[in-house]
A = this chain, B = another copy of it.
């Protein structure tokens, strides 16, 4: 009966309905939005422009609508979900470290915001829901590469807790209301248009003082990086091919790269003269998970492969940032 309800929805008003993308002006969201537009979708972006930017989005009157609002703002987003065939909930606090000084921000912008978006999607009978979660829900995993059915899930930061919490509510909404759910646990996603992350941190530090580069921790923290384009391709493919009530997929590359190697690459892009100074300790910051490498067999079985390895993704993004900032080695 549930399947029947979903089917009726899909075959009537929702099939050609617009796609809602929260955080759609952000680094991942804007790549998703452009890809959806290239596939003839009508897209409604909800973004408060806290880290997203208007200029990340093309101007396509009648096809792309941007509502500048917090996703929790019921009034401003009252009709955004009407008739939508999919909701992609990517809006979140993008700065994990911010949660250590403002303890409520991830609860608010992660968990509560997700609950509100789920509830709006339910009210509008949206049949498919996509949620951008994170590899940090695994905590510091004892198994590498870490598969989707790894346990225990032991978040070590409030950002991680807020993502696990949001996943839980996504799962409940899927089971209770027949919304097909897609949950993606991201490796470190990098690409143009970001405002935070290790690369921007290093570039900013070298701009302030080109002679030295402070690296948080001992530099041996090692993580997997994935380009925004690969990330978006993976999510779209899973949305087409995965058929469970709740579909959970890791999205990362097959290798990882240490903070030290990344520091050396960024220094090389600046001419290679800075010396590295480590702050020490195995973690970059309180709540940081020092190792992250995701098993991606599940999504690869659907037919997806990352085009770039972690090292290639880092190289590509360094070149883009350097070019944008007019830096020549």
Contact = CB atoms under 8 A, between A and B. Distances in A.
A158 B149 contact: no
Nearest to A151: B151
A22 B164 CA distance: 24
Interface residues of A, number: 37
A119 interface: yes
Contacts of A308: none
SS class, residues of chain A in contact with chain B:
helix
B154 A151 contact: no
A307 interface: no
A1 to B, nearest CB: 10
Contacts of A172: 155-158, 160-161, 287
Interface string A165-182: 111110110011000000
A150 interface: yes
Contacts of A214: none
A107 interface: yes
Contacts of A154: 171, 175, 246
Contact of A171 (B112, B139, B169): B139
A37 to B, nearest CB: 33
Given A164-B164, A165-B168, A176 B152 contact: no
